[in-house]
Structure 1
């Protein structure tokens, strides 16, 4: 009898220990949801039951881990950064399985914000809870932010009148134009693909082309993004009549508008949220961009371009190209170019103090949504993205983004080849006549290199080579 009681007590203790172990794994609300989803809802896929290898790191150690392994080596843009995270945490350290990583990554692809930053926060949350997710995100962003802030300050010190400075950036600008066009192709590769068949879906291609047409007609991009998300949702559910009526109706409304008010000006492409580069406007510009940058970090480029360059007019197009060039040579998320934009805006509005404040505020604004979305609860995000109605809307919206980026890429191409820097020359007219063909050649060579060489350091090398070549070609 005593032996039986001992066995019962031992079993109870083991049960309690097991329960305590399970509870210890639930470190934050989002992590808890992920754990429960993994254990209860997906028992049919053993590849997703894989949190046993996630180390529980103290916050300071967690910060250093993501700072040293990812923040300092985030070269080559989003694709290279995601590959680095996958290789280290999934393939080598096996924090989670590849199956689960692919599922998590698919969620972040459909959400606004830089995916690499969101993945770091996801893993940080698994390791140390909500605060761990925040710490991991900061560790990943901090090196690039500091370097971009420093570069912004040095850029302002060099001044646009420096002939050496201008010559280098004149050659770098067509390289940046090629990078944006190549990025458009990369994003399109997964934005117009049917996820079930892995083949190109013609209707998504049509959505991208029509959105590009709308941008050429000066229809506000936000109208196009929302409209084509809705139209594709109707089409995906077989409601073709409603989809076609909605499609035709947009151009009927546009025709009526043109009849009474004329063709919209290019200014209509923007919301006008940053007409002046005040600190408040810079923060709002970053926040709005961060909330609607679906499809990855590259979609932030056209959003900020139309507000700061086109509508606001306080950021020259060649300076905008320069900031993207600088962001491509730093170990940072691509969205860090916004730091440069904020610095230049603050500098134009009120001196050096405002410049640093503007850089910080626009960076906080553009990154706040991805921090909130990721840390608030991964399970909720998965449910939203996997909702058939919303998933089709996201698919249509992401395809529409391609059209917007394509138009911006063409505009950037024109600006980068034409050039706006005043490079010193005894014969200005001769210099101007020779610069555009040289820039066009650089553009084609850079574009060919980007397609031929997919190494993560290719953009960095192209920018460096372009800067050196500029001293010989444009000085």
Structure 2
């Protein structure tokens, strides 16, 4: 192992082709602006030879402070965990500004290279970056500590919010009014996130051009969900199909594409139209602790493209297949996740708490459910990062795996878009459901509340497209909660 290199980044031979790849890193993700002014000459203390290695992302770690475990925990807890507002883009920008621009732990080129790896892998990139920097400072244990320090504030706050929700959220009319207003706002947030993710997920590798095959994968996956074809079948199939397309095996790719619908037609002929629960795997039919852990593990493993991609996997298992969590409660959890300084996948903590609590009314079981599903959700990103950055880099540089991941990411867009539409539908139907078994006057009042829900959705969508400040989502949730008191209190 070369002197000064951690186990995360061994000395390797870099080809001219890899150099060109590094120079073009991150061209596929316009969400985070990695461009920064170049460091001044006065800040450059290394030789030209070392500077060249910096550009390739292979520099030593002489600038990385070696912190004790306690100091490392406090550093990431205070600098990033407590201020993780505004979603993944703001969180990543905060980490880059502090550790790359200000403290210069690593060069910008090296950061770009590392970030490009975590973009392809599942899990919240901000947490993975914290773990990477923790590994540089204090080894793999330091990586675990840094990741925990980043996630802990949001987890504790979500745990508290889940408890308060269980005390007031199901019966209190004022509490319910606020969350009814938040449901169309959450639907708008998911739709906006779908657009953001799609903007880079359907582009060709190393290019700004739209790849029509990835667009087709997204559209067909949405169609497959309408046909009630299992989500995981669609994701895997389009990953394989795009792998063949990338190798220009057009006939094989086309045959697989057609074969999926032939197989579906045969299924319908012999067994009938699939039921809605066929979309899920059925891994969490009840909110037992083991089922909650597996649910978090599967959702965390398949969250390609960002935290929003974990939402549909949890939704189909908990709301659709298991039916142990009402859709309205699920949406409330996403809304709460948007106002906390945490990765959005922290909504899983809420799902685990409410699912376990609704199952038997035990607060002890509820807290255990919240902890266990959170562990499952974060376990993949901890494992992938701590296992070794160099191994991950080799995997994502593999042309076959890279093509498979590209096809899978394109397919995921269709899943998220359908879930966004379903949540919008649920927010409108929530008012219509209140018409049943009501007097004429109460029914008229409930029906009239459909209009405000639609208006909130349109306004929220307009605000999200107009303003990109990291506090936009937070302010929308606060304003929506206040508006609910005027719009939906009976």
| TM-score when normalising by structure 1 | 0.91
The answer as to whether partners of 2:280 and 2:321 remain within 8 angstroms in 1 is yes
Where does residue 32 of structure 1 map in the other structure? 7
Aligned residues of 2:289 and 2:368 also touching (Cα < 8 A): yes
1:16 maps to: none
Aligned residue pairs, count: 449
Superposition map of 1:320-339 within 5 A: 320-339=330-349
Contact 1:229 1:397 survives alignment (8 Å): yes
8 Å contact kept, 2:351–2:370: yes
What is aligned with 2:482? 468
Picking from 470, 476, 479, the partner of 1:456 is: 470
Return the match for 1:108 from 108, 114, 118.
118
Q: What SS does the aligned partner of 1:56 have?
A: coil
SS of the aligned residue for 1:112 comes to: coil
Instruction: Note the alpha carbon deviations across 1:124-161, whole angstroms, 9 max, x for none.
Output: 10111001100000000000000000000000011322
Q: Pick from 425, 442, 449: which aligns with 2:456?
A: 442
Check 1:367–1:379 CA distance in 2 against 1; reply closer, same or farther (3 A cut): same
Matched, 1:368 2:343: no
Match of 1:405 in 2: 416
How many Å apart are 1:201 and its aligned residue? 1.1
CA distance in 1, matches of 2:54, 2:142: 26
Determine if the alignment matches structure 1 residue 59 to structure 2 residue 69: yes
Asked if 1:197 is matched to 2:230, the reply is no
DSSP 3-state at the match of 1:274: coil
Q: For residues 260 and 352 of structure 1, do their structure 2 counterparts lie closer, same or farther at Cα, with a shift above 3 Å needed?
A: same
Q: For 1:6-405, list aligned pairs within 5 A.
A: 23=3, 25-26=4-5, 31-37=6-12, 46-47=54-55, 48-50=57-59, 51-350=61-360, 351-405=362-416
1:88 & 1:268 partners in 2: Cα distance?
A: 46
TM-score (norm 2): 0.89
Query: What residue is the counterpart of 1:430 in the other structure?
Result: 444
Q: More displaced, 190-199 or 44-53?
A: 44-53
Structure 1 CA distance for aligned equivalents of residues 287 and 7 of structure 2: 42
Distance 1:246 1:39 in 2: 37
CA distance in 1, matches of 2:402, 2:261: 26
Look up the SS of the partner of 1:252 in the other structure.
Answer: helix
1:37: Cα distance to partner? 4.0
Q: Which runs of 5+ in 1 are unaligned?
A: 1-18
Runs of 5+ consecutive residues of structure 2 not aligned to the other structure: 20-48
- Which is richer in helix? 1
**SS in structure 1 of the partner of residue 228 of structure 2:** coil
CA-based RMSD of the aligned residues comes to: 1.9
**Cα drift, residue 33 of structure 1:** 4.0
Task: Work out whether residues 417 and 443 of structure 1, in 8 Å CA contact, stay in contact via their aligned partners in 2.
Answer: no
Structure 1 contact 38–49 (Cα < 8 Å) conserved: no
Question: Which secondary structure does the structure 2 equivalent of 1:197 belong to?
Answer: coil
